[in-house]
């Protein structure tokens, strides 16, 4: 029991993971075995990467002690930029590069303004939420441009694997999750991210370039969001300017449900993945259990508050145990 505090800080996603298993069992029973059948899993895994990639970016940024509300808008702006460029004859790889650069630039602006003027990232990125969304509509000229027919969907959204179980996007998602997870836990840069968010004055005093660390996290978050937006557009086949609305808050919910702390320093990529999966499972499971789908947002809201309260309780409890010991 004495190690509870340590366990909590090292594996903050544990509570979410347990809840996920319980919910899967519950939905499996309630849906009379439909929930875990191949078609349904295929459906869940097909859209999970989009929200999941955004959640990974938001989680890492939260660990570094900052916050991004503009991810939903970047999610729409990046593929829109690509679509418009392709209409003007740009080949896909160049358009992709340009889209990613636009995303990275937005992340840089978010980070630079937040740090240079020492304002809360909540405000900077709230502003960016509106600006990037507006830009999306402006560049589209009001009409979603037509995508060329020869897009490399085989690389991003085609079904692959045994029984065509996964989309390619799922493999991208797993690769990004593994890489970012290793970055956080196994590289010195990951150490700097955790130190920067854990206790900024100490990180700065030990010579960590905290401003640069945060700006890189902002940029990573934006790039992942833009990339995720492109995956959705390739899946849907049309760059709608309204995609990703409300995504910013769901991504924060994912991170928090997965155990990340709004105060920074605590959290894991795995937690963000677990949080996103929980949200997708609830969304799907409610429908299969014949519950009115309008309860979905209620469930997410409840879960978010519950997760934070439970985490705070666990932290307090763990500290109390330590003192008794």
Partner 1 sequence: MSDAIISVRDLHKWYSGVHALKGVTLDFKRGEALGLVGDNGAGKSTLINILSGVHRADQGEIKVEGRDVSIATPRDSMDLGIETIYQYNSMVPTMSIARNLFIGREPTRFSILGVGILDQKKMAEESVRAIANVDLHLRSPDALVGELSGGQRQGVAIARAMHFKSKVMILDEPTNHLSVKETNKVIGFVRGLKEQGVTGVFISHNMHHVFDCCDRIVAMARGEIVLDKRIGDTSIDEVHSVL
Residues that bind partner 1 (CB under 8 A): 5-6, 9, 186-192, 194-195, 198-199, 201-208, 265-266, 322
Distance set, CA 1 to CA 9, 314, 322 (Å) = 14, 12, 9
Count CA atoms closer than 13 A to 117's CA, side-chain side.
11
Six token digits for residue 184: 């956080």
Nearer to partner 1, 201 or 246 (CB): 201
CB of 205 to partner 1, least distance (A): 5
- The total number of residues written for the chain in this structure: 325
Nearer to partner 1, 65 or 145 (CB): 65
Nearer to partner 1, 6 or 116 (CB): 6
Q: How far apart are CA 200 and CA 304, in angstroms?
A: 26
CB of 22 to partner 1, least distance (A): 28
CB of 249 to partner 1, least distance (A): 25
Measured at the alpha carbon of residue 293, what is the angle toward residues 286 and 38, in degrees to the nearest 5? 45
Answer yes or no: are the C-beta atoms of 230 and 83 closer than 8 Å: no
Answer yes or no: are the C-beta atoms of 13 and 274 closer than 8 Å: yes
Nearer to partner 1, 118 or 149 (CB): 118
**Other CB atoms within 10 Å distance of the CB of residue 275:** 35
Which residue has tokens 């105060």?
Answer: 263
Nearer to partner 1, 2 or 297 (CB): 2
CB of 13 to partner 1, least distance (A): 15
Nearer to partner 1, 217 or 228 (CB): 217
Distance of CA 226 to the CA centre of its chain: 11
Answer yes or no: are the C-beta atoms of 148 and 86 closer than 8 Å: yes
CB of 266 to partner 1, least distance (A): 6
Six token digits for residue 258: 């997965």
Nearer to partner 1, 9 or 41 (CB): 9
CB of 271 to partner 1, least distance (A): 14
CB of 228 to partner 1, least distance (A): 24
């Amino acid at each position: 029991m004495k190690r509870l505090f340590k366990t909590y800080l090292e594996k903050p996603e544990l509570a979410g993971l347990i809840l996920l298993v319980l919910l899967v069992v519950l939905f499996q029973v309630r849906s009379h075995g439909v929930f875990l059948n191949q078609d349904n899993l295929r459906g869940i895994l097909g859209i999970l990467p989009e929200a999941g990639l955004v959640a990974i970016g938001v989680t890492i940024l939260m660990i570094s002690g900052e916050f991004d509300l503009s991810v939903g808008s970047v999610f729409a702006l990046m593929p829109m930029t690509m679509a418009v460029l392709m209409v003007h004859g740009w080949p896909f790889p160049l358009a992709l590069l340009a889209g990613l650069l636009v995303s990275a630039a937005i992340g840089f602006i978010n980070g630079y303004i937040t740090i240079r003027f020492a304002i809360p990232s909540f405000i900077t990125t709230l502003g960016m939420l509106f600006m990037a969304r507006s830009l999306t509509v402006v560049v589209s000229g009001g009409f979603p441009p037509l995508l060329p027919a020869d897009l490399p969907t085989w690389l991003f959204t085609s079904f692959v694997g045994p029984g065509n179980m996964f989309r390619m996007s799922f493999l991208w998602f797993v690769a990004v999750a593994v890489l970012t997870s290793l970055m956080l836990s196994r590289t010195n840069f990951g150490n700097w991210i955790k130190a920067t968010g854990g206790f900024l004055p100490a990180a700065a005093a030990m010579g960590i370039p905290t401003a640069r660390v945060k700006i890189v996290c902002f940029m990573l978050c934006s790039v992942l969001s833009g990339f995720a937006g492109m995956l959705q557009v390739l899946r849907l086949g049309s760059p709608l300017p309204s995609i990703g609305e409300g995504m910013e808050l769901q991504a924060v919910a994912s991170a928090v449900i997965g155990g990340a702390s709004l105060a920074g320093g605590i959290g894991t990529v795995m937690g963000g993945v677990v949080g996103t999966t929980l949200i997708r499972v609830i969304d799907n499971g409610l429908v299969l259990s014949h519950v009115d789908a309008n309860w979905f947002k209620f469930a997410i809201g409840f879960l978010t508050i519950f997760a934070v309260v439970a985490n705070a309780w666990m932290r307090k409890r763990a500290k109390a145990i330590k003192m008794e010991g």
